[in-house]
A = this chain, B = another copy of it.
């Protein structure tokens, strides 16, 4: 946890214009009643450099925030209102977090940018570089080409410099984060035998599916149950392929629904191109993530599990290797609402405004 004093000392140079005259970021949250919205609020409330100035959601009438998030009772938060974009002005607001559905984000972002607001969008609306991919994977036609071109993919461990300057950050998907951070060091080093195929078997808690009730997410349908879904066609696949530079034919991603609230654990199978000791893998990842405070690379023999990352912003990664056959298993874990959504969004905001990357996330 960083105090504002520490922030001023270490993170923000006087010349950086990011923090306004106020000395803090004035943040708005749209989609505040969902799970990612609630997580955003709980993180922002402990951020010493942020004030939450506006809350919005598609609700029948304004409500106090504790009606949607009982744990937030007692915090001084604005009333949650219906979205009214014409009221959002850069004189009052610096940054808008969008925890809204894909199409809603797609429709909102150009107007927000035009108003001079910076945006961190937690939906997928600006993650895929190719607008033509949206009809297949997300079922809508993308018509915000300029914003899409300007968007920066918000993986702080990979694109910190671009994020610092970004006006629009496309916050990565939860599953996508668990796979992209697990594979990037290996792929960039050229150690993986791509032709042998990569298999990612992922398991996620239920909050990753959002807060809208449905029979498939009704308590008795999930509890004491476990199932795979979206085999060969989950929406996060194109985002992973784009970031990893892989072809669909060399990559399988299979999501499963865990009977827990929060957390993703991914088991990824890769064949290496040549003989490596597991300690070399550990070293490769340690070097790659040397400046990434939210990544924890495990020693050989130790393995991430969901409880180690739940309600933290950490991305944890560990390895098992069969040296006789060069087969590597990468185990990665994160909290889908934190590092997989709201925590990563704040991490991006921290970069955008010159706060230490882990502020409010440690």
Q: Does A74 contact B (CB under 8 A)?
A: yes
A70 in complex: contacting residue of B205, B217, B226, B305, CB < 8 Å:
B305
Contacts of A206 in B (CB 8 A): 219-220, 223
Q: Does A314 contact B (CB under 8 A)?
A: yes
Against B, the Cβ 8 Å flags (1 = close, 0 = not) of A228-258 are 1101100000000000000001001010101
- Copies of this chain held together in the complex: 4
Q: Does A331 contact B (CB under 8 A)?
A: yes
In the complex, which residue of chain B has the Cβ closest to the Cβ of A308?
Answer: B70
Against B, the Cβ 8 Å flags (1 = close, 0 = not) of A86-115 are 000000000000000000000000000000
Binds B, one of A18-26, A163-171, A176-184, A194-202: A194-202
Q: A219-B218, A320-B231 are in contact. Are A305 and B252 (CB under 8 A)?
A: no
Would you call B252 and A329 a contact (CB within 8 A)? yes
Q: Does A129 contact B (CB under 8 A)?
A: no
Q: Does A303 contact B (CB under 8 A)?
A: yes
Would you call A207 and B220 a contact (CB within 8 A)? yes
Q: Does A309 contact B (CB under 8 A)?
A: yes
Residue with the greatest number of chain B CB neighbours at <10 A, chosen from A35, A196, A229, A258: A258
Contacts of A267 in B (CB 8 A): 201, 228, 254, 256
A129 to chain B, nearest CB (A): 23
Would you call B203 and A256 a contact (CB within 8 A)? yes
Q: Does A259 contact B (CB under 8 A)?
A: yes
Q: Which of A290-345 contact B (CB under 8 A)?
A: 296, 303-312, 314, 316, 320, 322, 324-325, 327, 329, 331
Against B, the Cβ 8 Å flags (1 = close, 0 = not) of A271-289 are 1000000000000000000
Would you call B46 and A1 a contact (CB within 8 A)? yes
A300 to chain B, nearest CB (A): 11
In the complex, which residue of chain B has the Cβ closest to the Cβ of A298?
Answer: B73
A214 to chain B, nearest CB (A): 5
Number of interface residues of A (CB under 8 A): 74
Contacts of A304 in B (CB 8 A): 227
Q: How far is B316's CA from A322's CA once the two chains are assembled, in angstroms?
A: 31
Q: Does A9 contact B (CB under 8 A)?
A: no
Would you call A203 and B226 a contact (CB within 8 A)? yes
A217 in complex: contacting residue of B203, B219, B265, CB < 8 Å:
B219
Would you call A306 and B226 a contact (CB within 8 A)? yes
Contacts of A70 in B (CB 8 A): 305, 307-308
Q: Which of A203-217 contact B (CB under 8 A)?
A: 203, 205-207, 211, 213-215, 217
Q: Does A221 contact B (CB under 8 A)?
A: yes
Contacts of A314 in B (CB 8 A): 73-74
Would you call B261 and A223 a contact (CB within 8 A)? yes
A223 in complex: contacting residue of B221, B223, B325, CB < 8 Å:
B223
Would you call B220 and A74 a contact (CB within 8 A)? no
Q: A1-B46, A256-B203 are in contact. Are A74 and B224 (CB under 8 A)?
A: no
A90 to chain B, nearest CB (A): 27
In the complex, which residue of chain B has the Cβ closest to the Cβ of A203?
Answer: B226
A265 in complex: contacting residue of B48, B226, B320, B325, CB < 8 Å:
B226
Q: Does A150 contact B (CB under 8 A)?
A: no
Cross-chain pairs A/B with CB under 8 angstroms, 14 sampled: A1-B45, A1-B46, A73-B316, A199-B269, A203-B203, A206-B220, A213-B213, A220-B261, A224-B224, A224-B261, A225-B310, A227-B305, A228-B331, A259-B259
